[in-house]
Amino acid sequence: MNIEKIKTLGELKKAGYQSKSVKIEMRDNLIQILRDKKNPFDDIKGYEDTVIPQLQTAILSRHNMILLGLRGQAKTRIARMMIHLLDEYIPYVKGSEINDDPLHPISRFAVDLIAEKGDATPIAWLHRDDRYTEKLATPDVSVADLIGDVDPIKAATLKLNYADERVIHFGLIPRSHRGIFVINELPDLQARIQVSLFNILQEGDLQIRGFKLRLPLDIQFVFTANPEDYTNRGSIVTPLKDRIDSQILTHYPKTIDISKTITSQEAHIMPEQKLNIEVNDVLKELVERVAFEARKSELVDQKSGVSARLTISSLENLFSAAERRMLINGEKKAIARINDLYGILPSITGKVELVYEGELEGASNVAYLLIGKAIRSLFEEKFPNPEKAKKSKKPNPYAEIISFFNDGYNVQLLHTDSQQTYEQKLNAVIGLKQLVETIIGKGNQSEKFLMMELVLHGLSEFSQLSKNGLEKGVEFKDLMSGMFDMRQQKADDDLGGYYEEK
């Protein structure tokens, strides 16, 4: 159908246009997509066997739906991708506020215009991108915002009395007629506002002030909600929940690999960063492990969830931490290090809700603990467990490294160390290079040094070495001197506090 030539109702009829409801339209398009072995939600990773099949079933059933899940689980992203299931263009009565179907008008304006002009009624074409409306539910949303209200200015301008339905100013929902309407964070809507949605969902008609309107609205409703909001900020009133046909539960990525794919897809890394900064897959995996550790930590509020945005922001910060060092040292290239993980602290502290014990610990300390646990779990996968190696009858592969530090040596890895300085410091640790080459293999140069650094961090997580946080980096030393330093620092703090109080 050549829509450029069709400009009147008569031409539309002559072309044989058949009207469809929006839900039938989405159903028909989904049927064709599935037959063609395609996926309209291809950008959504990790939901292929869980959420997507339920979503497709709901669309085939012509259901209004609610996506229920914790924050950062792509609920809004899924809703926005539904526009790809709409026809590219649909006709509507030109000038209509609510996109009236020329063949089935429902507003007073469209009905009167067609009665007056007949087949000469002008029509226009609406693109699918303009058939999507999204509203974030907030406590200040009113019935007038969503449904509509009497407009005194319109009444005065058109010289109409308030009994004439033409004085109505339609809200967002009527203006979404023949499209998709999304309400994000549904529990945040006040209960009386939720009640106003009853009739629209069940009967498809409106109630505005004293008007007896029966507008058979044609809308695909999609709601999103966080289960935690049911108790924290509000709830979905039971009769409304009963009128939502399908409830679809979302979830976080179930594997590290899926999580890495999502993070790489969503992170906004500048082209020059991708060109000049090397970030090994080991570091990308550590970023994901931080989120996985947070999602099972007793210090983090699991009901609030740990958003996928944590890993996305963390990866961006990881690139930037390496870039900052490159700029400071006047280098042309940079290789990200384990130590750069401490540059992602701002991405963690702002995105995890802590329980009471976590608040006592402090957000920064919790973030350090999560990074430490991520390092420990990865280290244990790639290298022998130091505790088991110590008890084993076989030679301890870490003996030379630990002896090096027991002899009084320490290693400070600073955030601003040049690549040459960084490599020199790691090479100075007796037995470190040989261990990595024996267990991991020689590999490429940058990965070898990354693994050498991982060994030091890993040994400290297993309490074989002491790791002290410095303002400019970290310091590794033998365990006993590290414990003495901590006791001395605590004593100094206590003594200082005593004199300060006196």
The domain that holds 285 is classified in CATH as 1.10.8
Residues 436 and 473 in one domain: yes
pLDDT reading at 501 higher than 50:
no
What is the model's pTM? 0.84
Residues 100 and 236 in one domain: yes
Residues 300 and 340 in one domain: yes
Residues 203 and 305 in one domain: no
Tell me what pLDDT residue 160 has: 65
CA–CA gap between residue 52 and residue 57 (Å, rounded): 9
Instruction: Give the CATH number for residue 102.
Output: 3.40.50.300
Tell me what pLDDT residue 165 has: 65
pLDDT (average), residues 347-365: 92
Residues 245 and 202 in one domain: yes
Tell me what pLDDT residue 396 has: 92
Cα distances (Å, whole numbers) of residue 178 to 24, 83, 110, 405, 450:
11, 12, 15, 72, 56
Residues 339 and 453 in one domain: no
Tell me what pLDDT residue 498 has: 35
Q: 398 in helix, strand or coil?
A: coil
Instruction: List, for residues 429-487, the tens digit of each pLDDT value.
Output: 999 999 999 998 877 888 999 999 999 999 999 999 999 987 889 999 998 765 555 44
pLDDT reading at 148 higher than 90:
no
Rounded percentage of the chain residues whose pLDDT exceeds 90: 68
Q: Which of 305, 304, 264, 258 is nearest to 47 (CA)?
A: 258
Q: 307 in helix, strand or coil?
A: coil
Q: Which of 500, 465, 455, 501 is nearest to 485 (CA)?
A: 465
CA–CA gap between residue 282 and residue 118 (Å, rounded): 69
Tell me what pLDDT residue 171 has: 84
Q: How confident is the model at residue 215 (pLDDT cuts 50, 70, 90)?
A: confident
Q: Name every residue whose Cβ is closer than 8 Å to that of residue 459 and which is 6 or more positions away in sequence.
A: 386, 398, 401, 402, 465
Instruction: List, for residues 8-39, the tens digit of each pLDDT value.
Output: 999 999 999 999 999 999 999 999 999 999 98
Question: Among 60-64, 390-394, 498-502, where is mean pLDDT lowest?
Answer: 498-502
Q: Which domain holds residue 37?
A: 3-249
CA–CA gap between residue 170 and residue 209 (Å, rounded): 12
Cα distances (Å, whole numbers) of residue 84 to 89, 177, 207, 253:
12, 17, 31, 24
CA–CA gap between residue 430 and residue 258 (Å, rounded): 38
Residues 192 and 334 in one domain: no
pLDDT greater at residue 428 or residue 170: 428
Residues 332 and 446 in one domain: no
The helix (run of H) or strand (run of E) holding residue 184 is: strand 179-184
DSSP string, 265-277: HH----HHHHHHE
Tell me what pLDDT residue 192 has: 82
Instruction: List, for residues 265-283, the tens digit of each pLDDT value.
Output: 999 999 999 999 999 999 9
Residues 61 and 200 in one domain: yes
Last residue of a domain, one of 320, 349, 382: 382
Last residue of a domain, one of 353, 382, 411: 382
Instruction: List, for residues 339-355, the tens digit of each pLDDT value.
Output: 999 999 999 998 999 99
Last residue of a domain, one of 382, 400, 423: 382
Residues 399 and 311 in one domain: no
Residues 91 and 132 in one domain: yes
pLDDT (average), residues 166-187: 88
Report how far apart the first and last C-alpha atoms of the chain are (Å, whole number): 89
Q: How confident is the model at residue 199 (pLDDT cuts 50, 70, 90)?
A: confident
Joined together, the tokens standing for residue 119 give 């087949």
pLDDT (average), residues 177-181: 95
Average per-residue pLDDT in the chain?
A: 88
pLDDT reading at 497 higher than 80:
no
Residues 282 and 219 in one domain: no
Q: Which of 420, 427, 387 is nearest to 404 (CA)?
A: 427
Phi-psi region of 182 (alpha: psi -120 to 50; beta: other; left: phi over 0): beta
Instruction: List, for residues 401-428, the tens digit of each pLDDT value.
Output: 999 999 999 999 999 999 999 999 999 9
Residues 109-133, buried b or exposed e (16+ Cβ, 10 A)? bbeebbeeeeeebebbebebeebbe
Q: How confident is the model at residue 226 (pLDDT cuts 50, 70, 90)?
A: confident
Residue found under tokens 């792509």: 74
Tell me what pLDDT residue 163 has: 57
CA–CA gap between residue 239 and residue 230 (Å, rounded): 15
Tell me what pLDDT residue 495 has: 41
Total number of domains constituting the chain: 3
Tell me what pLDDT residue 209 has: 62
Q: Name every residue whose Cβ is closer than 8 Å to that of residue 465 and which is 6 or more positions away in sequence.
A: 402, 405, 456, 459, 476, 477, 478, 479, 482
pLDDT greater at residue 497 or residue 502: 497
pLDDT (average), residues 80-96: 95
The single-letter DSSP state of residue 49 is: T
The residue type of 135 is: K
